[in-house]
Structure 1
Amino acid sequence: MKNVLKIAIVGPESTGKSTMSDYLAGHYHTIAVPEFSRSYCEQLTGECTFQDEINMFHGQLALEAELLPKANRILICDTTFITVKIWSEHVFGKAPQEVLDELPRHPYDFYLLLNIDLPWQDDPLRNFPNLREHFMAVWHKELNALNARYVVISGAGEERHDNAVKAINNFLAAD
């Protein structure tokens, strides 16, 4: 298979990850891997369980593997399974062991960490409007623990998109 660079769009709730992922996929004429947990959680009839988090981990990996061959040079990933680790630790006090085991074996080439400078958009699947700063700090911690190459993306609308494209172009030029 051709060498495809995986670029992950990550960050706290309501930072525009899905919008950014779709924009970047169009800009780079490639494909975006949607956030598996969104469609999964829309089907839940009760509270999310620890097993649901494990299911979302496996679903995200499977979706990424399915879409990777369709990518054109880069694969844009609307979040990653690191989200499962972050949410599980926050809600359940621990992360699934298979998630912890897979983290060092499943790297992404570059991350865009979307800043919390956008207004909160209410959504039935969003839970923590008052913890955005906390989760931003958690994302920094997680990415640093992985020695990940990442850039924080700020701004609104076209400025945010332009900042993301500039960061990716700089990454691609240096790679």
Structure 2
Amino acid sequence: MIDKRMPWRIAIVGPESCGKSTLAAALAQRWQQQGQRVAVVAEYARDYYAHRPYQPTPQHILAIARGQLAAEQAALAAGADILLCDTTVLTCRIWAEVAFGQAEPALLALNRPQDYTLTLLAAADLPWQPDPLRSHPEARDWLLGLYRQALDDAAVDYRLVSGHGDARLAAAWQALCDAGLALPVF
């Protein structure tokens, strides 16, 4: 059951290079055109590694998870009615499990996928785009399976979003409409 009281926290998760940032920006623009107060909560890992070498450790991943949650809280405190979260602590959890074989208990305690009004799971059907923080170009389908399993295990309402360009945006918007969180666009 989706709680339709605002503010809404919409999670956008999925494997690397699957268009999460692009989708968050496009959804924000559409809601803003409808007069909604929207904040896009960027992927905190990019800020974290902007001024240090990209050499992840379990402690770094925990710090990134905390930073991601702090950015969400700051957006809420600033008065946003809708948060579009370009990744969540779930990504940190999966990252830790893939890189180190497990997630630390403190990280697991921060992972609360049920706190989001709806989760959009971005399919790995877009072309791979190289990036210094990406490292699994051949494992995106496997990673997508890890996300599905984690969301299923948490009994989280999520919608798979696929397609290219406007078709991907339309699929995401339709998922939000189906959940009662957006108005159809004609």
TM-score, normalization by structure 2: 0.87
Deviations 1:52-84 (A, max 9, x none): 111101100101100013454321110101111
Other-structure match for 2:15: 12
1:100, distance to aligned residue in structure 2 (A): 1.2
Of 24, 27, 39, which residue of structure 2 is paired with 1:31?
A: 39
Which amino acid letter does the alignment assign opposite residue 7 of structure 1?
A: I
Of residues 77-86 and 93-102 in structure 1, the stretch that sits farther from structure 2 once superposed is 93-102
Within 2, Cα distance between the matches of 1:5 and 1:107? 10
Q: Which runs of 5+ in 2 are unaligned?
A: 33-37
Contact 2:113 2:156 in 1 (8 A): no
The structure richer in helix per residue is: 1
% identical equivalent positions: 36
Of 81, 91, 104, which residue of structure 2 is paired with 1:96?
A: 104
Which amino acid letter does the alignment assign opposite residue 7 of structure 2?
A: V
> Where do 1:10-159 residues align within 5 Å?
10-29=13-32, 30-104=38-112, 107-159=115-167
TM-score, normalization by structure 1: 0.92
Within 2, Cα distance between the matches of 1:73 and 1:170? 19
Q: Which runs of 5+ in 1 are unaligned?
A: none
Question: How much is the aligned-residue C-alpha RMSD, in angstroms?
Answer: 1.8
Within 2, Cα distance between the matches of 1:64 and 1:149? 20
The count of corresponding residues between Structure 1 and Structure 2 is 173
